[in-house]
Structure 1
Amino acid sequence: MSASTTYTATSKLHGQEPLDQEIEHIIRESKNITIKSGTESALYGPDPEGLKILPEPSRERLEASGVDLSKGYPERPDKSKVPVYLDEAFAIRNEDYPYIERGKNADPEKNALLGAAKEVNDLTKHIGTEIVGLQLADLNDKQKDELALLVAERVVVFFREQKLSVPKQLELGAYWGQVEKHIQTTQVPGFPGTTVIWVDYRRKNGLNMTYKNTNLGNWDASKHGSSGNQVWHADLVHEHQPAGITHLHLDAIPNEGGDTLWASGYAAYDKLSEEMKRFLDGKKVVVFSAHSYLDRNDPFGGPKRIERVHPLVRTHPATGWKSLFVNRAMTRKIIGLSPVESDVILNYLFDVYEKNADIQVRFKWGPQKPGYGTWYQSHFFG
């Protein structure tokens, strides 16, 4: 006859400390356990190995921006600050914070912004505009407000060949709202809030990047997982206040590939029948985080994700336009419907985004010309 012992979150091992604290201590102290996503190194701080593969255009921009590369690049997350437990992660930015919707009172004609450009090219009917002949670093406040409105209307706006320093990029972000400081991702050393997206670096550290198409059929990313390059998604939808504007600056661009796709949530909503719109208006969805954590009350129950409830249809405060707020990678269910009903409707809505090319834009960045894109994350998935 065998005996088993069940511990609760307040039980003690070895009589030293509560179980949840002891587990956290083991995770934080072990060099063989990582609490970040993927399979990146469990070490933290600037990475000297990253400098060995840093592309020259990136190095030039970083050094010109005053970034200290003497200890390495990029800055890896501080393991002591990455949440282990679900309640800790849920508490991050879990409050209302005031912000100014810069596009709301901007000139609808956007004369200050568009009048200063050499060219303004709408890339498709519903989504995507490229502005030629403007440097983002030189915009005045009136032009920044008009850019916020243009982004709200066109979902994604592109600028090529920008001379934009890292501090100036952060300054632009702070003008439009609170800069999100992601404690679980690599950053530019000395500039928290500037997340480094670097596929070659992640591959070097063991991340298995695959390019199979998981969008075909009714793929359930919430059950089977995905990478950002596999499934249409929007970042940080699980937050109390999801991101408004995200801006991306490309330092180095491959000679082929590297294209990025976006889809318009406005146009996706407009494709629905009036009866379907009436059915969906007022509905709420459960969305979840990309990162997983332990449940303090059930630490041996396996990793769990943050879940939060948001409206399925959102209205933009600057335009007044309605947009679908669902994405295959991070939407779990529609509240109030049975699992079967929810799955059927969500997979249909995912397909509206993913299978209608007329509401999408595909942008080719290069080659070898640093570009800069700005888009409203709440209203597209790419």
Structure 2
Amino acid sequence: MTTTTISEVKSINTPSVIQINADIPLDQALEELIRNSKEISITRGKRKGKFETGADKEGLELLPESSKERLQADGIDIQAGYPEAPPREDIPIYLDQAFEIRNYDVPFVDRGKNADPEKKSLFGAATEIINLTKNVGTEIVGLQLEDLTDQQKDELALLIAERVVVFFRDQKLSPSAQHKLGDYYGNVEVHAQVAHVPGLPGTTVIWNDYQVKKGMNLNFATSNLSNWDSTKYLNVGNQGWHTDLVHERQPAGYTHLHLDAIPDVGGDTIWSSGYGAYDKLSDEFKKFLDGKEAVYVSAHQYLDREDPFGGPKRIERVHPLVRTHPATGWKFLYVNRGMTKRIVGLSPVESDLVLNYLFDVYEKNADIQVRFKWTNSKQGYGTSAIWDNRISQHRNVWDHEGDQPRHGTRVTSLAEKPYFDPESKSQREALGKYLHQWD
């Protein structure tokens, strides 16, 4: 490779000038330029908006009072600013750098695998158990997540694995306790680019109001475009149907979002079941898909070291298209519109036709979905949703348009390497429920 140094020279009266000197490799020179030029955003692409690394004073000024009180009660130091982005020198520039993050096997045992199937400890301590729909979503009343015993946590993991998502309102939950619970459920994902609670990497900040202030193009007109065609319209503000971190060697398992600032109306979240999506398919189509693999891509993009001027590229990994859940033993469909690129072994046209149908199955069947309204009845408390990213897709609804603040923190626990057990059954098959036999 040609050796090159690229440096940026500025003067008072002239625009920036790029000087190129042949003494170090081109990829190293580009990385040096990108890391040293604050005008180049490496924390986010156009999809999310631009912000600097480190703690952000501007963000602290925007922070809702209820969020600030929760952080300060936990001893979180926000004097320097909020949120905190990873150090610029640690953010990957090149595809190979990003790919190597967590590119190794980590032991994982699903906490729900050996839990009491009747969940007597968890249900016995609750004052009420509410199934929000017949197939997806359960609310537990009368428990504080911070106070759960290990046995109750295990039973909760199994409940989430069965019901896709479980909700807890009126929670007095610190970010540190949220992180600790995530660590119990798996290996907490620390993202190389995403802003987090200061001093607590892995506790990601979910705050579209802030992103919009920093340049994210999220509004009434743009909020749903990616649900029509994700190849043309990037997903902004998590409004498009998606599953988190599908590109990981060991993708996301249990994910916990806690909102401490909630609009009076709007800002709901919708989940859809991968168990239900699989069971919507005919037996013949299931047989065709079982054992197939697909290519999954990252949400973030990086430069290709071998072709740095060829445009940004995404991490790619291959996983089973139909997976088996280790706790329930049920099959589920593992696809999402934004980050499932192609089915291995099919022509591009065949793959697109099949995948677009499978995306629609997930997104258009209301009987395998739940829409949750984030509300509290107690001042100074928040609401939590814990879902299984393996068996679901989700999306936010931007109908409040930032008129009232919406802020939260999220902890994602990475799970097992995806696998398919040909002897496993679908959810409805295992539960003895009706399955249509197509003529």
- With normalisation by structure 2, the TM-score equals 0.82
Please tell me whether residue 23 in structure 1 is matched to residue 23 in structure 2: no
How far 1:51 sits from its partner (Å)? 1.4
> What CA distance in whole angstroms lies between the structure 1 residues aligned with 2:368 and 2:226?
17
In structure 2, what is the equivalent of residue 90 of structure 1? 99
Contact 2:226 2:235 in 1 (8 A): no
Where in structure 1 do 4 or more consecutive aligned residues deviate above 6 Å?
Answer: none
Aligned-partner SS, 2:255? strand
Please tell me whether residue 378 in structure 1 is matched to residue 390 in structure 2: yes
Aligned-partner SS, 2:317? strand
Aligned pair in 2 of structure 1 residues 72, 251: CA closer, same or farther (>3 Å)? same
What per-residue deviation string (whole Å, max 9, x for no partner) do you get for residues 206-244 of structure 1? 11113443366xx44145422253321011100000011
Which of 28, 34, 42 is matched with 1:35 structurally?
42
Which of 351, 356, 372 is matched with 2:360 structurally?
351
> What CA distance in whole angstroms lies between the structure 1 residues aligned with 2:107 and 2:4?
42
Please tell me whether residue 199 in structure 1 is matched to residue 191 in structure 2: no
How many residue pairs are counted as aligned between the two chains?
372
Which of 268, 271, 276 is matched with 2:277 structurally?
268
> What CA distance in whole angstroms lies between the structure 1 residues aligned with 2:309 and 2:375?
47
Aligned-partner SS, 2:261? coil
> What CA distance in whole angstroms lies between the structure 2 residues aligned with 1:205 and 1:372?
26
Q: Alignment RMSD, CA only?
A: 1.4
Contact 1:131 1:158 in 2 (8 A): yes
Contact 2:226 2:234 in 1 (8 A): no
Structure 2 unaligned blocks of 5 or more: 6-20, 395-439
* Identical-residue share of aligned pairs (%): 63
Aligned pair in 2 of structure 1 residues 336, 223: CA closer, same or farther (>3 Å)? farther
> What CA distance in whole angstroms lies between the structure 1 residues aligned with 2:50 and 2:131?
42
Contact 2:226 2:232 in 1 (8 A): no
In structure 2, what is the equivalent of residue 99 of structure 1? 108
> What CA distance in whole angstroms lies between the structure 2 residues aligned with 1:378 and 1:174?
17
In structure 2, what is the equivalent of residue 4 of structure 1? none
> What CA distance in whole angstroms lies between the structure 2 residues aligned with 1:88 and 1:20?
12
In structure 2, what is the equivalent of residue 164 of structure 1? 173
Aligned pair in 2 of structure 1 residues 25, 334: CA closer, same or farther (>3 Å)? same
Contact 1:33 1:42 in 2 (8 A): no
What per-residue deviation string (whole Å, max 9, x for no partner) do you get for residues 271-302 of structure 1? 11000000000001111011000000111111
Structure 1 unaligned blocks of 5 or more: 1-7
In structure 1, what is the equivalent of residue 187 of structure 2? 178
> What CA distance in whole angstroms lies between the structure 1 residues aligned with 2:234 and 2:80?
35
Which of 214, 220, 233 is matched with 2:225 structurally?
214
In structure 2, what is the equivalent of residue 141 of structure 1? 150
> What CA distance in whole angstroms lies between the structure 1 residues aligned with 2:389 and 2:50?
29
- Higher share in strand: 2
In structure 2, what is the equivalent of residue 12 of structure 1? 4
In structure 2, what is the equivalent of residue 187 of structure 1? 196
Aligned-partner SS, 1:210? coil
Contact 1:222 1:331 in 2 (8 A): no
How far 1:349 sits from its partner (Å)? 0.4
In structure 2, what is the equivalent of residue 310 of structure 1? 319
Paired amino acid for 2:96: D
How far 1:356 sits from its partner (Å)? 0.5
Which of 285, 300, 311 is matched with 2:309 structurally?
300
Contact 2:185 2:254 in 1 (8 A): yes
In structure 1, what is the equivalent of residue 289 of structure 2? 280
- With normalisation by structure 1, the TM-score equals 0.94
> What CA distance in whole angstroms lies between the structure 2 residues aligned with 1:142 and 1:230?
35
